[in-house]
Structure 1
Amino acid sequence: MDDQRREVAAGGYPFNCAVLDDVTFRADGEDLAEGGVEDLFGEMAPALRRFGVTLRIRTVCGNGDEEGYVLDINGCRFPVLDADDWRYNSPWLEATVRPLAVVNDLLAAAGTPVRVFTLYAGENDGLALLLDPAVVHTVRRSGLVDDRNTPELPRPNRDR
């Protein structure tokens, strides 16, 4: 931990350290939009269990179906994408933030302060990180890391 503090104090990036390896997940927006949310959640499952969340997930409809891409997460249906997202929204972004926002609701219900944050949401190099919001707030307030490289909470388009 002291090595990480020294690295950050010297200008190193605080969200690229070994202590975060088991809570950092590749969240490629294109892969997620093409049906990869179950894979991402499968990778996240062990870490989420440590924070009191057990995911039961199945695909109800895939992108080729008229209903769009819909998941059942712990017994509730959640739309990931529909036809309008491919025409009017950013499907890669929405396929990243919508499911991760659901996970944040489950984390809140479990009573843990940890939340899923994203970096480069909707891009091919997107990441999902399980972090305490206080850490992100401190980094943001420090001004040492620009906004693009600071994790943020997933915020889906709520106009649905």
Structure 2
Amino acid sequence: ALGEVEGEEAVAGRRLVLAGSSSGGTLAHGVAAALEQRGEGPAAVVLLDTYLSDNQGITQFNDVLLGGMFAREDRAAPMDGTRLTAMGGYFRLLDAWTPPAVRAPLLLVRASTPLGRPSAEAGDWRSSWAGADTVLDVPGDHFSIMEEHVATTGDAVADWLGTTLRTPDDL
């Protein structure tokens, strides 16, 4: 791990952008808020198909989400008892979490394809984030926006960052 001085030297002169996919977006948002409280906020925050834990639009697909995680466990940590226990713990923490306001520009990137047939009773299946400055829909579902559609997703984020982080000196 980088030490405090080494870390500061590594990012000196660069603009920090925090990004998180799925529930990782809640962590990116929370870190951004904590950094802003210290006076060291990021230049921007990017949430990639991030939902609050009580969003029924996505919880209607919990079986597909869990199945998708098991199908992809070879790309991340195995879906063993330790990982499932940890997931349960942080989902319990997120159940009562309300995103604090952040000053950094915030982009929400949403999947344009649902994980299954949406139920009208569950509400909109697409992610939403009250503090988002910009919402962009990209091709793919919750998983594929970061898999086979990752280039399109990356281009959308890069275009937004290029416009959002432009300084008067860039013009």
Same fold, judged at TM 0.5 (above):
no
Structure ranking higher in strand proportion: 1
Q: Which has the larger radius of gyration?
A: 2
TM-score, structure 1 as length reference: 0.31
TM-score, structure 2 as length reference: 0.30
